[in-house]
């Protein structure tokens, strides 16, 4: 952290009329975005705002969790939120923040969301993904990681079609079909051979994309975790790894992927005791069996 206090950023009001909000535009690939930062800790808000403002992003920040649910109405391109209630003892910020995120996802499933978590473990990260996060960053955070995550999610969002412009082709957004399985990455909907339609989160969609691109093939947990964490590249920087960090990373990968697969099986009505769709390959990871698919119970 810098020795001097960063300058105060502009604060977003808790509520703002959608009619007075600037029109939502689709910036060019190199353009910065309009970011809303919601966190109970003022220092976290100001530090995040400074890290993004120096790269041209238009940042608004607030401690009011209610702003999460209306982020899409106020012309924001991305939401950065910290659900940690420990920064304000005696408040319900953490609980309210997750509830507001669910409300936002019901109204706008495509707005990019990054969640900041203090010392979050695999269970916390998975819970954040299940609640609607597109990316999770541990904090205290590295400004370079924050800027890289923001830039990637903004670029992904810009390729989605708007009412005023036709869609721009992107290989990551191409629908995938294997047998009777059909995945639409733009809407995050999976259609099964039996007619079941499943709405999935961004990380779940990345897992399904990996499975559908390699049906009947065993995929390792570390590879699957890289796909979820890095937005589809499937790579991880290992230059600073030591034997201890490698072992810890492998353990984290196993637990995180196991929990995400468990969630997907639940959505697909795939019996975890005898799964027919996402099968466990002991000592390796998982295999997607593109057969007839689950039954709609």
Give how far Cα 294 sits from Cα of 149, 191, 266, Å: 35, 11, 11
Q: Which two tokens stand for residue 145?
A: 């990681």
Question: Which region among 113-117, 123-127, 166-170, 251-255 has the lowest average model confidence (pLDDT)?
Answer: 166-170
Q: Map tokens 């206090």 to a residue.
A: 5
| Rounded Cα distance, 113 and 125, in Å | 13
Number of residues in the chain: 297
Measured in whole angstroms, the distance separating CA 39 from the mean position of its chain's CA atoms is: 17
Note the pLDDT tens digit of each residue in 97-141.
888 898 888 888 888 999 998 866 777 777 788 788 888 888 888
| β-bridge partners, 219 | 286
Mean pLDDT computed over 280-295: 79
pTM check: above 0.75: no
Number of H helices, E strands in the chain: 8, 12
Note the pLDDT tens digit of each residue in 221-241.
888 888 776 554 444 444 434
* 13 burial via Cβ count (<10 Å: 0-12, 13-18, 19+): exposed
């Amino acid at each position: 952290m810098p020795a001097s206090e960063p300058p105060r950023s502009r604060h977003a009001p808790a509520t703002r009329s959608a009619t007075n909000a600037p029109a939502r535009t689709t910036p060019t690939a190199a353009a910065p975005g309009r970011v809303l930062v919601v966190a109970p800790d003022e220092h976290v808000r100001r530090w995040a705002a400074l890290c993004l403002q120096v790269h041209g992003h238009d940042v608004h920040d607030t401690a009011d969790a209610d702003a999460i649910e209306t982020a899409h109405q106020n012309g924001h391109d991305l939401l950065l939120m910290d659900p940690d209630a420990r920064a304000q003892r005696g408040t319900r910020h953490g609980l309210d923040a997750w509830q507001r995120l669910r409300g936002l996802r019901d109204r706008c499933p495509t707005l990019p969301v990054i969640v900041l978590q203090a010392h979050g473990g695999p269970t916390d990260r998975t819970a954040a993904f299940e609640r609607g996060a597109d990316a999770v960053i541990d904090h205290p955070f590295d400004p370079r990681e924050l800027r890289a995550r923001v830039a990637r999610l903004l670029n992904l969002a810009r390729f989605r079609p708007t009412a005023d412009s036709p869609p721009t082709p992107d290989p990551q957004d191409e629908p995938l079909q294997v047998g009777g399985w059909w995945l639409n990455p733009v809407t995050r909907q999976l259609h099964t051979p039996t007619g079941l339609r499943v709405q999935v989160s961004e990380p779940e969609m990345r897992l399904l994309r990996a499975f559908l691109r390699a049906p009947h093939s065993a995929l390792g947990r570390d590879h699957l975790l890289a796909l979820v964490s890095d937005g589809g590249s499937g790579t991880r920087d290992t230059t600073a790894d030591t034997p201890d960090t490698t072992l810890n990373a492998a353990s984290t990968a196993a637990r995180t992927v196991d929990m995400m697969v468990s969630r997907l099986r639940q959505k697909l009505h795939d019996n975890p005791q005898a799964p027919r769709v996402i099968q466990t390959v002991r000592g390796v990871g998982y295999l997607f069996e593109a057969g007839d698919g689950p039954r709609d119970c």
